[in-house]
Structure 1
Amino acid sequence: MFAPRTTTPWPLVALFTAGYLAPYLLPTTVGRLERGLDLTATQAGAVGSALLLSSATAGFLLASRVERAGARTLARLGLALAVLGYGAAALTTAVPAVVAGVLVGGFGSGTATTVAATRIAAQPDPHRASTLGLLSVSALAGVVYLTVPHLPGHGLTLAAIALTAVAVWPLTSRLPAGTPGPRRTGTDGPARLPHLRSGLVLAGAMLLWSLAQNALWGVSGRIGIGQAHLSEATVGVVFAVALGTGLLGVVCAGALGPRLGRALPIGGGTVLIAGCIALTASATDLVGFATGEIAWNTVYPVVLSYLIGLAASLDPRGRWAVLVGSAASLGTAAGPLTGSVLSAQAGFPVMGAVLGAGLLLVALPMTAVALHTGGRPLLPGAVRRRGGHPAAVVAAAPGTPTGGVPEIGAPEQPVVEIPLDGTPAPARGDYDTAAATRGPGTP
């Protein structure tokens, strides 16, 4: 029997790209604002942090409202805000107007990301959909990184985000008017968040995980120029190559899919990232700097794709995917400031050691969540309860039907024994399991 072919959710991939592009372009956006508007490094970084905080706010506010408002309506609202905000910020040189435009655009990006994450969580294979989204946004960001240095202007990256939102708009017609999900459990409000403890642990860990990544990313240029003694052009080439290997990492993540489960890629990948950060921060020449940056950018999107898939698996309505993503945005916003403070106080090598040690600690709870919520893939012919309980294991044997495997965490069907003496079967809910041991005529 052949498995049904999965249709690629291209509208969601495009919406994911439009929402995630702003964080991917943050380093060059901040640099352009600093040079084009004559801002200090701290002021430009604060504008970038405001963008990400606005995006995270949208996620926290809308995580449980996508179903009620409708995916199509919210997606179009987010794209419209992105076009209006980023477009206005790109066309003006007045700092207050730029800040206001960035805040509006950031909320639009967060809204688009919220809708995309919610809908991706409802897909049959959320890991595949999120991997395609990361591949798309990485490729588009690479084009911008290679194009922007050759053009003048402070708002080129902001204009690129706005134009992307315009291009994605027509695809929103293929989104549903409402987000399908489980029925509400009562009339008092929406269903409770499942896996509350695991979701909170994952959200907190993702905040720190993202903070460490972006703490290094925010000062990588200074490490290459000031400590490794490289020219700005050479550092740019290293970044371009690293972004290309990041695309390779996303492709590999898509090819692997769930074969390794989630615990190994998340835990082992985070340990590798910790080593890459320490290597980059202590680099004093081209070899060390390039090796650390390229290896880091190769592993980072792989781990991120599995983390997105893990968050999506916690709730089929996508609320944990949105909340965890918003927590990651908070970490992203605080990352550059953290890297600047640590490097100024203790130097780049110590900063790298502190960030690496923090990632090693964060790897433990993230791996525990992946294991607790079914990090190991199901094999055809085997059914295993969520949480790892060894009961209810059915092994395939010759002649066993090979239909679809029940979804992990699906509610179990009641078992009712049918009497063979011709008496009617007991009604559902009234069956006495002790009666199964009594034969006909037994009192």
Structure 2
Amino acid sequence: MTNYKSSNNGSNKMTNELSTTQSPRIIVDPNGIWASVMLAFLTTAGIFYINIMPAVVSGLKEGLGFTNQQAGFVSSANLYGASLGALTAVFIIKHIDWKRWSYVLMGLIIAIDLICIVISSPWVMIATRGLHGLVGGLLVGIGFGIISRTASPDRTFGYLLFIQWGLGGLGLMFLPGLVPEYGVTALFLSLVAFTLVSLVMLVFLPDYPVPQRHTENANQDAPTGNNNRVNKLPLVLTLLAILIFQAANMGLFAYMIALGKAEGLSIDFMSPSLAAASWVALGGAFLVIVIGTRYGRTLPLAISIVLTALFSWLLHFSESPDVYLYSNVAIGICWAFVLPYLFGICSELDKGGQYAALGGFASKMGLASGPMVAALLLSDDHYSIVINAAVVGLLLCVVVVFQPARMLDR
């Protein structure tokens, strides 16, 4: 499962010269399961707060007394910063020593999370989390680009969602109950702990150099040999689909605890319910790992996105604990199932990693815009309009993604 290789980096002349004096280190198989898991941790480290977003929003409201709008703006600032960072990765991913950059970026992420423990002003928190997002988004963009260089990016993105949903479920299970006792310290220390684990894993990852044809001809990005002009429309549509899908889901997910409270549900019921939904959602990512593109992309995407819209609409009846629970479970499964395919489309259009990094940018823009739009739409804790907006966005996503998915299926 592991290979023993020298620590030299083919893209770094100085490292090549020193490799004979360095002791060998353990490097995992670049296309093996352990590499997929470690890449998943790397790519999640910059945005783990997304998977515990309801706990973050609720924690800011209860631990620091932020309003619905202020808590939503903190989340959006974090994610808009991440969008800018992911966009920056598009232009540098082929030209940097990505491992050195990742070490530095994770160190900065840890420092910013620790600083946030002592911040109580909403506007200072908004600015600080925006900076955190910028750094974390750059790390995520780098991770997406490296995943594109694996033999099966669809499956690797499946592992990514598997890790995110599994650990996100743990956060949603325990963090909301810890905030009343320990304040937001519990939230930010959990983020620090995750980044530290990811930092250790980075040591064992191989170098993943840029494929030779991308170093020789930067314009030859399509696996079929088509040029960028031919692939522009599928790329734009895929990026738009990712943005819409993420915005629709996150706009609703960020306020899931607040929505439940407005419907009379208790935190003792909602925390384990959302945790269970995250864990069961692992089945969606696992299904992608198992079936890959055996049945194409068009049909699986269309069915799963329509189901996401249906179960989002059922949240209108969240006063029923069963509806709240099972709707969140179904949404989570579909969410974890759809994203690997969407990112996989970007990866198939460019094995160098730039298009996947663009997919990361579109994802962060959607994740940031969702809570922002929801915060602007919210009035007196009436969440019906947020639910309706999510449903409309999801149905629009089906229309947008059809052409690029169908093109790759053919």
Q: Where on the TM-score scale, by shorter chain, does this alignment land: which range?
A: 0.7 to 0.9
Match of 1:55 among 67, 82, 101: 82
Residue identity (%): 21
Deviation, structure 1 residue 69: 1.4
For residues 317 and 185 of structure 2, the distance between their equivalents in structure 1, rounded to whole angstroms, comes to 33
Shift of the 83–94 alpha-carbon distance from structure 1 to 2, 3 Å rule, reads same
Contact 1:210 1:328 in 2 (8 A): yes
For residues 350 and 34 of structure 1, the distance between their equivalents in structure 2, rounded to whole angstroms, comes to 21
Q: Is 1:203 the counterpart of 2:239 in the alignment? A: yes
Query: What number of residue pairs does the alignment pair up?
Result: 369
Q: Where does the alignment leave 5 or more consecutive residues of structure 1 unmatched?
A: 376-387, 389-443
Shift of the 354–143 alpha-carbon distance from structure 1 to 2, 3 Å rule, reads closer
Question: What SS does the aligned partner of 1:179 have?
Answer: coil
Partner deviation per Cα, 1:38-73 (whole Å, 9 max, x = no partner): 222211211111111111111111212122112112
Contact 2:262 2:381 in 1 (8 A): no
Residue 401 of structure 1 aligns with which residue?
none
Residue 172 of structure 1 aligns with which residue?
202
Indicate the structure whose relative CO is greater, using CA pairs within 8 Å and at least 6 residues apart. 2
TM-score (norm 1): 0.76
Contact 1:72 1:178 in 2 (8 A): no
Partner deviation per Cα, 1:341-379 (whole Å, 9 max, x = no partner): 44539954454344323321220221221111x23xxxx
Shift of the 343–61 alpha-carbon distance from structure 1 to 2, 3 Å rule, reads same
Contact 1:249 1:299 in 2 (8 A): yes
Residue 111 of structure 2 aligns with which residue?
84
For residues 96 and 296 of structure 1, the distance between their equivalents in structure 2, rounded to whole angstroms, comes to 32
What amino acid sits opposite 1:121 in the alignment?
S
For residues 352 and 39 of structure 1, the distance between their equivalents in structure 2, rounded to whole angstroms, comes to 23
Q: Is 1:155 the counterpart of 2:155 in the alignment? A: no
Residue 212 of structure 1 aligns with which residue?
248
- Following superposition of structure 1 onto structure 2, how do residues 56-205 of structure 1 map, counting pairs within 5 Å? 56-93=83-120, 98-151=125-178, 152-175=182-205, 179-181=209-211, 182-184=213-215, 194=228, 195-205=231-241
Residue 427 of structure 1 aligns with which residue?
none
Partner deviation per Cα, 1:304-323 (whole Å, 9 max, x = no partner): 12112122111101111111
What amino acid sits opposite 1:128 in the alignment?
R
Deviation, structure 1 residue 239: 1.3
Deviation, structure 1 residue 149: 3.0
Contact 1:281 1:351 in 2 (8 A): no
Shift of the 78–184 alpha-carbon distance from structure 1 to 2, 3 Å rule, reads same
Match of 1:259 among 287, 294, 300: 294
Partner deviation per Cα, 1:233-257 (whole Å, 9 max, x = no partner): 2222321221121122222222222
Structure with the larger helix share: 2
Partner deviation per Cα, 1:369-407 (whole Å, 9 max, x = no partner): 1111x23xxxxxxxxxxxx3xxxxxxxxxxxxxxxxxxx
Residue 221 of structure 1 aligns with which residue?
257
What amino acid sits opposite 1:183 in the alignment?
H
Contact 2:30 2:206 in 1 (8 A): no
Q: Is 1:336 the counterpart of 2:344 in the alignment? A: no
Match of 2:391 among 356, 360, 376: 356
Q: Which has the larger radius of gyration?
A: 1
- Following superposition of structure 1 onto structure 2, how do residues 5-20 of structure 1 map, counting pairs within 5 Å? 6-8=31-33, 9=35, 10-20=37-47
CA RMSD of aligned residues (A): 2.6
Deviation, structure 1 residue 83: 0.9
Residue 294 of structure 1 aligns with which residue?
329
Match of 2:357 among 322, 333, 348: 322
For residues 204 and 339 of structure 1, the distance between their equivalents in structure 2, rounded to whole angstroms, comes to 19
Partner deviation per Cα, 1:15-60 (whole Å, 9 max, x = no partner): 0231341211222122222222222221121111111111111111
Shift of the 346–7 alpha-carbon distance from structure 1 to 2, 3 Å rule, reads closer
For residues 331 and 46 of structure 1, the distance between their equivalents in structure 2, rounded to whole angstroms, comes to 14
Match of 2:53 among 21, 26, 29: 26
361-370 or 118-127, which moves further after superposition?
Answer: 361-370
Question: What SS does the aligned partner of 1:207 have?
Answer: helix
Residue 313 of structure 2 aligns with which residue?
278
Contact 1:278 1:349 in 2 (8 A): no
Runs (4 or more) in structure 1 with deviation over 4 Å come to 94-97, 175-178, 189-193
For residues 276 and 349 of structure 2, the distance between their equivalents in structure 1, rounded to whole angstroms, comes to 35
For residues 260 and 382 of structure 2, the distance between their equivalents in structure 1, rounded to whole angstroms, comes to 14
Deviation, structure 1 residue 219: 2.9
Contact 1:85 1:103 in 2 (8 A): no
